[in-house]
Structure 1
Amino acid sequence: MAGIKTIPVSVDEHGLDVEEGIRRAPNAALAVVTAGQQAPLGVTLSLPRRLRLLEWADENGSWIVEDDYLSELQLVGRAAPALASQDRSGRVIHIGTFSKTINPGLRLGFVVAPTSLANRVADTAAALAPAASITCQWALAEFMRKGHYLRHLRRMKRTYTARLAALQRALSIPATTEAMAGLALLVHLPQGADDVAISQQALAVGLAPLPLSIWYADAAQARSGLLLCVTNVPDEGIEDCCSRLVRFTEAFI
């Protein structure tokens, strides 16, 4: 709708392949990245690639939109510093949301923009969300000022880490599992396995794994897998859920 042409860029164990992005779109107006935890694989953008991306934006006069969609809610290791904290040229627009860290019903996010863009960002936000609740914003600010937000994050990290461990113990599936991919456990399936069909069949009995293949811009390069959300793992009955998922998976492999 905005007339933007998108150029997908490969991701590996070091995050976004910045050099490939520069080759494919050297004069891009902006780059959208999830530097802290790449969605959905969960890898962190490496320091050399961060510096190269910032260098490109500075030299090209382009913008970087850093989508910090999980903020400090990282279960494995310490959260990487925000790309915006390494920006010395004012080219990074840092955005985030409280929907994933507090509650989706809150419908509040945030933008940390360079000073040169502050007025334009404020005008755009006012035009797009004129009915945004000031009361909720005040309440959230007070919630954070009193330290409740950091305590909430620590509590949720403990809860989600325990649920991840329970899921890993209960899971018995013919595939390899990786570390956290955001707030989901990534389970690889054999190449060619129909992960979309598996997820659709699982929905019929109340399970909701997300197929990995739909995240790929190029279907020819898509890998099969399932993303198992950690946040809504039940305290009881997880073994039964995993057993049912295994049966569905085995029927398609």
Structure 2
Amino acid sequence: MGYKEIYARYRQHILEGRLKPGDRVPAIRTLASELQVARKTVEAAYEILIGEGYFVSQGAKGTCVNPQLLLATASEKAAVSAPPASENSPRESKGELRLGIPALDEFPHKKWLLISGKAARTLRPEEMILPPVMGYQPLREAIASYLSISRGLNCQPEQIFITSGYRANLRLILAVLAQPSDKVLFEDPGYFFGQKLLKRIAPNLHYVPVDRQGMDVDYLLRYHPDARFSIVTPTHHSPLAVTLSLPRKHQLLEWAHQNDSWIIEDDYDGEFHYTRKVIPAMKSLDVHDRVIYTGTFSKTMMPAMRVGYLVMPKETIGRFNELGEILETGMSLLPQKILAQFLSEGHFYRHIKKMRILYQQRRRMMLDALQQCFPEMFDFELTDGGMHIVAFLRRGTQDKALAEIWQRHQLRVLPLSGWYMQTQKRYGLVIGYTNIRSPEQAFALLQRTARETREAFK
């Protein structure tokens, strides 16, 4: 490698933003050794970069990218070439009333930091090798214990597979158990990220309508009895938040048993029930081991942690382990250690109990504000819990236009009709409320849109 190549590489990295003003660069001796070139070669490249103003020599402190370097032209080019972020993406958008974001202001940060520090300090050399494919054993034990107490599941730690979240759960389950021709059923309406993923990985995808009792199992039995998989959110349907009725749960379990099919139970926020005791998971009724239970800590703790899990039926453990070795490299160990300690010391249980009370209060704040600001616009069908409200339009079908108005005011609501794939749709707004801290805040947020909303929907 000659000095021109070294010069060109650094210049490109700076212009592309991979090296920023003030960043230090390797010492000449170090870089020459790494690249296996003569020191004079690196010196020549650095001299040109310094001469052109890209680098600055700081004597004994070394060399860095010029802190005064102005790259406006490069930034503008990057901005033009970068694809625009979707205004409707809950993942990328910033703003209020976002879906699926837990009450971050009430998270026990101090306790989490103490446990994190301890986990990092006690990391042993043998733990620095590749982590177990199925997950850190103490975390698997803690999750199995939690599911037994709080969700009514009779499962062993050996049945727990730690993943990186909801989509990793679906990908892994279908990779292990499905054939390309297998029919996969999904709720309609259904979770939009699930729809997008399944369209890519499940060629034979079909939809089953949802009503006020959850998935219409009679429809499933009439039109899709030969399905191999049914993906459901039985505790709180996403997005309608209704609960799958007990007779339908038994219908679905019997269908799976008789047809040797699988039910994938997504229990994304099953902990949050307000008006009665927490409903046990459908998996707790599964005497034939046909339900694959899945969950994450995104809704209960923080989305950024990206830790999920699934409960493997006993007969499938070997297959999950075999393919997991190929598809999965194992979740990073340190977050698993921290989470295991957080669960085993009882902090997670206390946090969930606190959130149930808090979310019930915050839902009431949002409902009161909606009824005060828009008394004639919405109807509500309150369910026993969840983390969002569905405000159904009393008149009209223009929920997408309404959502666009609210989004322009940084209120990240979503139109209900966008969650449907078939023609029979309902219309309204799906509104998160978990980070509303006061009635005054809820009212002030809605007032941002009040005038424009009323003018557009007279």
TM bin (shorter chain): over 0.9
How far apart are the structure 2 equivalents of 1:197 and 1:126? 47
Bigger mean CA deviation after superposition, 45-54 or 122-131: 122-131
Deviation of residue 243 (structure 1)? 2.3
Match of 2:436 among 228, 233, 248: 233
Check conservation: 1:64, 1:92, Cα contact below 8 A.
Answer: yes
The aligned counterpart of 1:90 is 289
Structure with more contact order per residue of length (Cα contacts < 8 Å, sep ≥ 6): 2
Check conservation: 1:95, 1:112, Cα contact below 8 A.
Answer: yes
Bigger mean CA deviation after superposition, 96-105 or 140-149: 140-149
Check conservation: 2:270, 2:386, Cα contact below 8 A.
Answer: no
Superposed CA offset, 1:54-106 (max 9, x none): 11111101000001111312334322211111111111000001011000011
The aligned counterpart of 2:362 is 163
Q: Secondary structure at the match of 1:71?
A: coil
Deviation of residue 128 (structure 1)? 4.0
- Read off the aligned partner of 1:208 and give its amino acid letter: R
Match of 2:258 among 51, 54, 59: 59
The aligned counterpart of 1:101 is 300
Deviation of residue 233 (structure 1)? 2.0
Bigger mean CA deviation after superposition, 116-125 or 164-173: 116-125
Check conservation: 1:65, 1:93, Cα contact below 8 A.
Answer: yes
The aligned counterpart of 1:133 is 332
1:117 equivalenced with 2:316 (yes/no): yes
How far apart are the structure 2 equivalents of 1:21 and 1:191? 31
How far apart are the structure 2 equivalents of 1:249 and 1:124? 52
5+ residue gaps, structure 2, are 1-199
How far apart are the structure 2 equivalents of 1:225 and 1:107? 30
Equivalent pairs: percent with the same residue? 36
How far apart are the structure 1 equivalents of 2:316 and 2:414? 37
The aligned counterpart of 2:153 is none
How far apart are the structure 2 equivalents of 1:246 and 1:126? 54
The aligned counterpart of 2:381 is 178
Q: Larger C-alpha radius of gyration, 1 or 2?
A: 2
- Read off the aligned partner of 1:223 and give its amino acid letter: R
Deviation of residue 4 (structure 1)? 3.1
The aligned counterpart of 1:9 is 208
Check conservation: 1:57, 1:64, Cα contact below 8 A.
Answer: yes
| Equivalence map 1:210-249=2 (5 Å) | 210-218=414-422, 220-235=423-438, 236-249=440-453
Match of 1:199 among 403, 424, 434: 403
The normalised TM-score by structure 2 is 0.52
Check conservation: 1:94, 1:112, Cα contact below 8 A.
Answer: yes
Bigger mean CA deviation after superposition, 32-41 or 178-187: 178-187
Superposed CA offset, 1:98-129 (max 9, x none): 01100001100111111011122334445444
How far apart are the structure 1 equivalents of 2:407 and 2:274? 27
1:146 equivalenced with 2:349 (yes/no): no
Q: Secondary structure at the match of 2:329?
A: coil
How far apart are the structure 1 equivalents of 2:306 and 2:240? 25
Bigger mean CA deviation after superposition, 97-106 or 198-207: 198-207
Q: Secondary structure at the match of 2:206?
A: coil
The aligned counterpart of 1:38 is 237
| Distance verdict in 2 for CA 1:39–1:175, change over 3 Å | same
Cα RMSD (Å): 1.8
Check conservation: 1:194, 1:252, Cα contact below 8 A.
Answer: no
| Distance verdict in 2 for CA 1:186–1:247, change over 3 Å | farther
Check conservation: 2:236, 2:270, Cα contact below 8 A.
Answer: no
1:79 equivalenced with 2:260 (yes/no): no
Q: Secondary structure at the match of 1:227?
A: strand
Check conservation: 1:36, 1:82, Cα contact below 8 A.
Answer: yes
| Distance verdict in 2 for CA 1:35–1:201, change over 3 Å | same
Deviation of residue 131 (structure 1)? 5.0
More helix by share: 2
Check conservation: 2:409, 2:449, Cα contact below 8 A.
Answer: no
Check conservation: 1:69, 1:96, Cα contact below 8 A.
Answer: yes
How far apart are the structure 2 equivalents of 1:227 and 1:82? 24
How far apart are the structure 2 equivalents of 1:2 and 1:188? 32
